[in-house]
A and B are shown apart, each in its own frame.
Chain A
Amino acid sequence: MSPPSARSAAASPLIVADADGFNPQIILRSSDPIMSPAWSPDGRRLAYVSLENRRAQIYIQDLFSGQRQLLTAEAGINGAPSWSPDGRRMALTLSRDGNPEIYLYNLLNRTLSRLTNNSAIDTEPVWSPDGSSIVFTSDRGGSPQLYQVPVSGGQAQRLTFQGNYNARASFAPDGRSIAFVHRSNGRFRIAVQNLSSGQIRILTNGDLDESPSFAPNGQMIVYATSLAGRGELAAVSADGKVQQRLVLRSGEVREPAWAPFNN
């Protein structure tokens, strides 16, 4: 007999909290999965993926009014939203043309343009801080690796070569390095790569570390980790010397995203 599946309605609220974990505020509750929260550059809005009602959709939600606006609801994937630094465009993943590709959505005139065209999985786009290029995950070379492509289109350059799993980049605010998920000996850890030298440094020592997000001052990286099977948040300094657990509240936590600026 096939096993039953866990289809229970898992409440999975999206929350905003202070960086030390205090003052958690629930932004959205849903009985279906919510994924990939992303801040607008001005910190006033959030984009996220909702898997409500048996379809994937990307929403933008205003933090002040609570109102949300549907951005995309194409057939297949609607995923991995990432705001451009000027707030005018969104990079995202759609599979409406047959397999996962990176698209750019112009938020001013609501037009979509396709950035990648490859039979591989192309996903997890992030903007360079100067807005000129996109770094994304692709398995076009046979394993998931990070690539960089100009926003204007063209040839993608492979960035990562060490190991056979490098994915989900987060840019340092100065644009000189990226943090990402790196698999080493079967363990998924957060690594940082200097983009000019290509040198990588593994910063964490968990088994399932993921979702790295640089602090706006570039000194710390917050990430999700698994402790005894439970999802927790942790932070590590960009040089790997300081490790810190972040205790938000009871319950499992995943997919942290650091707000874009410090007040």
Chain B
Amino acid sequence: MKAMFRTLAGIGLLALLSACTTTDSVVSDSQLQDGQNQAGGAYDTRGVSDTYGYNPDGTANSQNPYGQITGGPSASQASRVVYFDFDSFQVKAESRPIIEAHANYLISNPGAVVYLEGHADERGTREYNVGLGDRRNNTVRQLMIGMGVGPQQIRTISYGEERPAVLGQDEASYALNRRVEIAY
């Protein structure tokens, strides 16, 4: 075994296989190749769990994949996604009320911790896109701190282009992938 690894290390390629299996519902490869827009739908999703992530009915206290209890304002009060323009980390005016709602929740719940999860569209290099997601996180973080949220209540992670919201290769899909998700 060791000899084989040595050989492999010597002449080998190192690579990542991406997303060949998912635990949730997935779109098939043929669907991906045939174009991303299904009849009547604006986009495909890569599979959405009903137990974590975006929470369309705003139900609090559902479990995220890490076993923690989710929190935050309900979706009727605030969305959990802030969108950005291409290669930009400026928060648009329309997104400010979303951030305010979360800031108010965090101020009212000083023990709560929010995760800002920054994302980029797939264009460009992967680590530079991690940089873009990080800057988007930081813009939202600074706004929240300016609104009175304690810095210790905010954690950030940038996924770059590694976790797209939708899989299309068109501007409408890219716009949905340039985002910060606000999670608890």
Contact = CB atoms under 8 A, between A and B. Distances in A.
A binds B: yes
Interface of A: 1-19, 21, 23, 25, 27, 31, 33-37, 39, 43-44, 46, 51, 53-56, 63-64, 75-77, 79-80, 93, 95, 98-100, 121, 123-124, 137, 139, 144, 165, 167-168, 181, 183, 188, 208, 210-211, 222, 228-231, 233, 246, 248-259, 261-263
A-B interface, 9 closest residue pairs, ranked by CB to CB distance from nearest: A251-B20, A6-B46, A263-B10, A7-B53, A121-B131, A8-B47, A33-B162, A8-B24, A168-B125
B111 interface: no
B149 interface: no
A255 B15 contact: yes
Nearest to B89: A121
A7 B45 CA distance: 9
A255 B125 CA distance: 10
A165 B8 CA distance: 34
B167 to A, nearest CB: 7
B76 to A, nearest CB: 11
B128 A233 contact: no
A56 B158 contact: yes
Contact of A1 (B4, B52, B56, B137): B56
Given A25-B8, A211-B126, A259-B12, A252 B17 contact: yes
Nearest to B33: A228
Given A36-B126, A63-B9, A250-B20, A14 B14 contact: yes
B19 A252 contact: yes
A188 B15 contact: no
B27 to A, nearest CB: 10
Contacts of B21: 10-11
Contact of A248 (B15, B36, B49): B15
Nearest to A66: B5
A137 B133 CA distance: 16
Interface centre among B8, B16, B81 (most CB of A within 10 A): B16
Given A35-B126, A51-B162, A139-B128, 11 more contacts: A2-B79, A8-B48, A53-B66, A75-B155, A93-B130, A181-B125, A183-B124, A188-B124, A222-B13, A253-B15, A255-B16
B8 A252 contact: no
Contact of A16 (B13, B32, B79, B80): B13
A77 B134 contact: yes
Given A2-B54, A4-B165, A9-B23, A14 B16 contact: yes
Contacts of B49: 7-8
Interface residues of B, number: 76
B120 to A, nearest CB: 11
9 contacts: A5-B54, A6-B48, A46-B14, A75-B156, A98-B138, A181-B124, A251-B17, A255-B15, A259-B10
Contacts of A10: 18-19, 21-22, 46, 163
A55 B45 CA distance: 24
A165 B176 contact: no
Given A9-B65, A168-B125, A259-B10, A253 B53 contact: no
Contacts of B117: 54
Nearest to A121: B131
A33 B1 CA distance: 27
A8 B23 contact: yes
Contacts of B22: 8-11
Contact of A12 (B12, B16, B127): B16
A210 B125 contact: yes
Given A12-B19, A211-B126, A254-B18, A17 B33 contact: no
B132 A121 contact: yes
